[in-house]
Structure 1
Amino acid sequence: MEQEAARTGAAGRDRGEDGGEVRRGVRADYRPDAGEAVSILAPEVAEFLEGAHVAALATVRPDGRPHVVPVWYEYDGKEFTISTFRGTQKLRNLQAKEKAALSIFTTELPYRQVTVEGTARAGSLIDNVWRERVAARYLGKTAGRAYVSDTADMDHVAIHVRPLTWHTEGFGLE
């Protein structure tokens, strides 16, 4: 019984040998501070993240209230990259507190979702090559190019979300 309590921890979540939280769909030896991108995800989860799912990005306003917005994203195996315009509320929030959550989910059965919590930071300006690739993923090649062209005169800033915790559901891994 004591051994089981030590393994699952107070919240009843599985714990690894070092006491770190183990999430289904994510390799047990995942360490968020690893310097290089590693394949930490179950193949089903990695494939899901490559789809054109709109994500919900949650940040915290300086007064403590949550702020949640829909975003497009790209995941490189290490962090999620999101594009936003300079001066947005989400950028102001990240200047005050570099924490964020990202929830990516389906809206039709069978429901599947991936939610990460982690550190977030504003990066440099995003180039049109990245923007065209991501816009084509969500809108198709022609409409993606048109979107990038229509918004080319605006400053697009990267937001990088580095996951510290993962939660997945609906992949048969629970």
Structure 2
Amino acid sequence: MSRRDQIRMTPEEIRVYLDEQKVINVATVGPNNRPHLAPLWYFPHEDGVATWTYGSSQKAKNLRRLPEATVLIESGDSYEKLRGISLESDVQIVEDTDEVTRMGITLMQRYAGAKPGDAVPAELSEFIGRQAPKRIGLIFHPTKIVSWDHTKLGGTY
């Protein structure tokens, strides 16, 4: 078995890892054809991730021009602890304000520690409702997934 095969995460390990992590780095193609990289909060969605951003942001402009991105989620502070997932993705842009509001609530509840299905506080709903018209939702549908978990090597290289 190759080293690459040894460190690849299973689909279940990928789902767990996506649930555990908090920040994605999203690479889009800028107007000068250079990568534009931005960190974002996210929530797991289907086999990928989803988030929202301001509709006037550079990443939104880039994705309207070319709705493709690479998403990186990674952790570990030494070689034997490196873990991560790279998602080459087609990006669905969501502009329906009601859906963007739902996405914003899902996102904020995740970072507040709420569980799916928990009641949404009225203050949060009102806050997100005021934000949603300025934002778009982004759903990243992976076309290629690469994963690595160096902890599977047991400290050997």
Q: Would you say same fold, with TM above 0.5?
A: yes
CA contact (8 A) 1:53 1:106 kept: no
Aligned positions of 1:1-174 closer than 5 A: 24-25=8-9, 41=11, 43-108=12-77, 110-124=81-95, 125=97, 126-141=99-114, 150=127, 152-154=129-131, 155-170=134-149, 172=152
Distance 1:158 1:127, change over 3 A: closer
**Which deviates more, 78-87 or 55-64?**
78-87
CA contact (8 A) 1:115 1:167 kept: yes
Report the TM-score, using the length of structure 1 for normalisation: 0.65
CA contact (8 A) 2:51 2:107 kept: no
Higher helix content, 1 or 2: 2
Percent identity (aligned): 22
Structure 1 residue runs of 5 or longer lacking an equivalent are 1-12, 15-22, 27-40
How far does the alpha carbon of each residue in 1:74-132 deviate from its partner, in whole angstroms, 9 at most, with x for none?
A: 22233421111111111100122121000011254633111111212322234434322
CA contact (8 A) 1:117 1:164 kept: yes
Distance 1:156 1:107, change over 3 A: farther
Distance 1:159 1:148, change over 3 A: same
Q: Which has the higher contact order (CA 8 A, sep 6+)?
A: 2
Distance 1:153 1:100, change over 3 A: same
CA separation in 1, counterparts of 2:57 and 2:30?
12
Paired residue type of 1:46: R
- Alignment match, 1:9: none
Distance 1:51 1:147, change over 3 A: farther
Matched position secondary structure for 1:138:
helix
CA separation in 2, counterparts of 1:71 and 1:53?
9
Query: What is the number of equivalent residue pairs in this alignment?
Result: 137
